[in-house]
Structure 1
């Protein structure tokens, strides 16, 4: 049995910004970050989870001018915003910047890898004026982006993609491997937990973000396999996480009620079947914790009916 760790998991929230805060809370937990760093970030592979939590991940995470989310400063860079930005120690005493980006869907034809590369490059250029000035590029710090994709196409599920500077053998010989590790990114595409390696951070994330497991099952599996205790308020349910997860939920709901509309003869306009279709759509949308106004507005996009007509049906 792994050494037991614990962290507090907040209550389910109904608003997108509260979902987002819950997601950020989860990824701010040292034990979760430790598993990710151990598996995917060079330099940590020989460290134990406990060692990383004690020696390299501070509580609270160490603040400095660049890790703006921790100092009260904005971490917006024009139209770009980092979801979670940390400063962590590397074995050897140096510091690196770690950006965690929850991602809902990989949409068709989306240039996800180019976006990942852009964010990582921005972490490098953003250090000017905070970490170094003038021509003192020797003070540049290592950066790593961790992207968690909740709903990837089947061919990408339970796959991990790594992007980094790739030089020839002469580069590391002459300048050291710190150059090839200066800017790197990891894209983790979640899938079914039982298809991921046991004890891996991929499997841990698969369990935590599973859409098919109930809260109790998640708690039991995380404790049994990782020695981590999920602490929740009595009577609460395991929440879904972040704006990205809300995007997944809305996508799934849309697919369900489009299928419902087709099955119920919406196009034929039969009143009884139309009412049944609306009621089933409302039931699906309520599972997203949407307000009645939001539910009605979404139903209106599929049915040519007034706000009051739909309200009378679903009330």
Structure 2
């Protein structure tokens, strides 16, 4: 069935861009609702359908379509994903949208930013970038959410980051960073709503065999890592996470799976190449070490053999020398005659003659 989804996938030069697909998947309300249920405390007591109802409650004039899938679209329209000022760096958000949540004094407004990131260490602290995004979303409310000194109207902002390839120690973790009240001197209490205005949450995906795998971490791992075929992903979303409109995601999920599988295979290939190179290097190092060790052992063995042989030879020489001297004293024969009588080889006789000349 052709749906709104077919036209929503961004293509560049005939191929789907990675960023576009990630953003497209994250724009689905059911995906967002599960993220918000886990990461946004304001929704912890809400059901997924209730959360979906809180996302972008105000219809946008001129953007409501006539087809059934467009009158109640499964995707958010989203706020502007670009933030620019005359003095600060241009910021382009992956997904940014408004929502309301139940509060003590009725409904409260929220602005939520979702980002997909492959590396947790891209060359700078990712948490600092997320905090900067929160700052920009707060300051950008001037002129649209509040004006002049009406700071009480500022809405709370969330920046939630999904890291698909975090370092091993961060796999299967969800970590939140917030503003908190500390009593340094005395004890006074400010209403939480007056300072709890920004929240950074880092979602680090991991492997199924890892600790804490399950819930939201499993859902996002299934969606983004390419370990499953598109139909399997849709089935898991429907069976385990009760997605009511998973079928509308099928084409985007298919694109996502194909892209992720390609990235996964490329990573495997590069990993194997690197592994082979490292294996050869380590093999050579181990071979050299073993060669040295074996050489030392053989050297010791040969040295001992040679030492024993020399010891035996020296013992034999000493004994023969004593016998030669004894016969010379007994017979009065010269050394040459005694050695001939003892059948000492002519080639060895000069050695004994030299030893006989040395002082005893």
Q: Shorter chain as normaliser: what TM range?
A: 0.5 to 0.7
Taking a change above 3 Å as real, the CA distance of residues 206 and 61 of structure 1, as seen in their structure-2 partners, is farther
Match in the other structure for 1:115: 129
SS of the residue corresponding to residue 107 of structure 2 reads coil
TM-score, normalised on structure 1? 0.65
Considering Cα pairs closer than 8 Å and 6+ residues apart, tell me whether 1 or 2 has the greater RCO. Answer: 1
Q: Distance in 2 between matches of 1:12 and 1:29?
A: 15
Q: How many residues align?
A: 252
Residue 237 of structure 1 and its aligned partner are, at CA, apart by 7.0
Match in the other structure for 1:75: 83
Greater mean alpha carbon deviation, residues 212-221 or residues 141-150? 212-221
Match in the other structure for 2:329: none
Residue 212 of structure 1 and its aligned partner are, at CA, apart by 2.4
SS of the residue corresponding to residue 194 of structure 2 reads coil
Q: Distance in 1 between matches of 2:276 and 2:263?
A: 20
CA contact (8 A) 2:134 2:198 kept: yes
Whichever of the two has the greater Rg, that structure is 2
Match in the other structure for 2:246: 230
Q: Distance in 2 between matches of 1:43 and 1:124?
A: 18
TM-score, normalised on structure 2? 0.58
Taking a change above 3 Å as real, the CA distance of residues 124 and 195 of structure 1, as seen in their structure-2 partners, is same
Q: Deviations over 1:111-138 (max 9, x none)?
A: 1111111111111122222222222211
Match in the other structure for 2:55: 57
Q: Distance in 2 between matches of 1:247 and 1:172?
A: 57
Q: Deviations over 1:54-104 (max 9, x none)?
A: 3x12478769xxxxx846684345332222110101113121100111111
Which consecutive unaligned segments of at least 5 residues does structure 2 have? 62-76, 281-360
Q: Distance in 2 between matches of 1:142 and 1:62?
A: 22
Counterparts of 1:1-315 in structure 2, within 5 Å, are: 18-54=17-53, 56-58=54-56, 70=78, 74-77=82-85, 78-91=89-102, 92-107=106-121, 110-168=124-182, 174-193=189-208, 195=210, 200-228=215-243, 230-231=246-247, 238-240=254-256, 252=267, 255-256=270-271, 258-259=273-274, 262=277
Residue 33 of structure 1 and its aligned partner are, at CA, apart by 1.1
Q: Distance in 2 between matches of 1:255 and 1:232?
A: 35
Cα RMSD for the two superposed structures: 4.1
CA contact (8 A) 1:194 1:203 kept: no
CA contact (8 A) 1:104 1:248 kept: no
Residue 195 of structure 1 and its aligned partner are, at CA, apart by 3.9
CA contact (8 A) 2:78 2:95 kept: no
Which consecutive unaligned segments of at least 5 residues does structure 1 have? 1-6, 64-68, 266-315
Q: Deviations over 1:217-253 (max 9, x none)?
A: 3233222211226327989972238x9x799669826
Q: Distance in 2 between matches of 1:145 and 1:220?
A: 29
CA contact (8 A) 2:113 2:159 kept: yes
SS of the residue corresponding to residue 130 of structure 1 reads coil
Instruction: Point out the structure with the larger helix share.
Output: 2
